[in-house]
Amino acid sequence: MSSSRLWAVVPAAGSGRRFGGDTPKQYLNLLNKPIMLHSIDRLFALPLAGCVVAISEDDQIAKTLNYAHAHALQFVVGGAERMDSVLAGLDSLHGKAAPDDWVLAHDVARPCITSDSLYKLHETLSDDAVGGILAIPVRDTLKKAQGNQVVETVSRENLWQAQTPQMFRYGLLRDALIAARNKNLQVTDEASAMELAGFSVKLVEGRMDNIKVTYRDDLALAEAILQAQ
């Protein structure tokens, strides 16, 4: 097992436009606990050296929540896009994290991540030079559309649905995100930045129940999953 330390970065500066409503989705209650608490507290199933949460400048809620590991949390101001928030978190670790330390980037709206998946990700990648992501094979038939008309059926062979956490070496990930920003490229996850930088990203099979709360219907599903877990 690698001796490199583990850090986590949680981008939580988004407004949740697709979810709708006045309250950012991470602060909505899920089994009497904000989604954000579930997502962050569960990460500490692994021995994290620290966790950086990137929030919006006008956020008045994040720092008031009752985190199980509040002593290990640090808050920074994030940006307009996910990559901006992750990079802000990584920048705050500059001088603390070694280049070969590990960083877990996790969606604030994935409250159902299990300790088993976290262990599997860490153990699979612990001696890897680059890192990888949790993902699941695409199961449904995929349709390419134009408006509300099907253009073609897309083969799902070799297609995977990316999840988080995504786990990469600190130095490589920070450099990859800086390079993407300097080229004015917007990447939607950390793996995309690593791919653009020329690295091979490993896939670690996750679980179907590691859902991301994106739409209002997802709240009821997440509640059912947490109760089942």
Q: pLDDT (tens digit, 9 = 90+) per residue, 65-121?
A: 999 999 999 999 999 899 999 999 999 999 999 999 999 999 999 999 999 999 999
Per-residue pLDDT at 187: 95
pLDDT on residue 1: 43
Could you tell me the CATH number of the domain that includes residue 46?
3.90.550.10
Per-residue pLDDT band for 15 (boundaries 50, 70, 90) equals low
Q: Please check whether residue 34 lies inside any domain of the structure.
A: yes
Q: Is residue 153 part of a domain?
A: no
Residue 82, in any domain of the structure: yes
Provide the strand spans (E) within 114-175.
131-137, 142-146, 149-154, 160-169
Domain span at residue 109 reads: 6-131+162-228
In the chain, % of residues over pLDDT 90: 91
Residue 41 within a domain: yes
Rounded Cα–Cα distance for residues 97 and 28 (Å) = 32
Say if CB 57 and CB 28 are below 8 A apart: no
d(CA 52, CA 88): 9
Among 139, 155, 109, which Cα is nearest to 13's? 109
139 part of a folded domain:
no
How many domains is the chain built from?
A: 1
pLDDT digits (tens, 9 = 90+) for 36-78: 999 999 999 999 999 999 999 999 999 999 999 999 999 999 9
Q: Is residue 60 part of a domain?
A: yes
Instruction: Write down the mean pLDDT value for the chain.
Output: 94
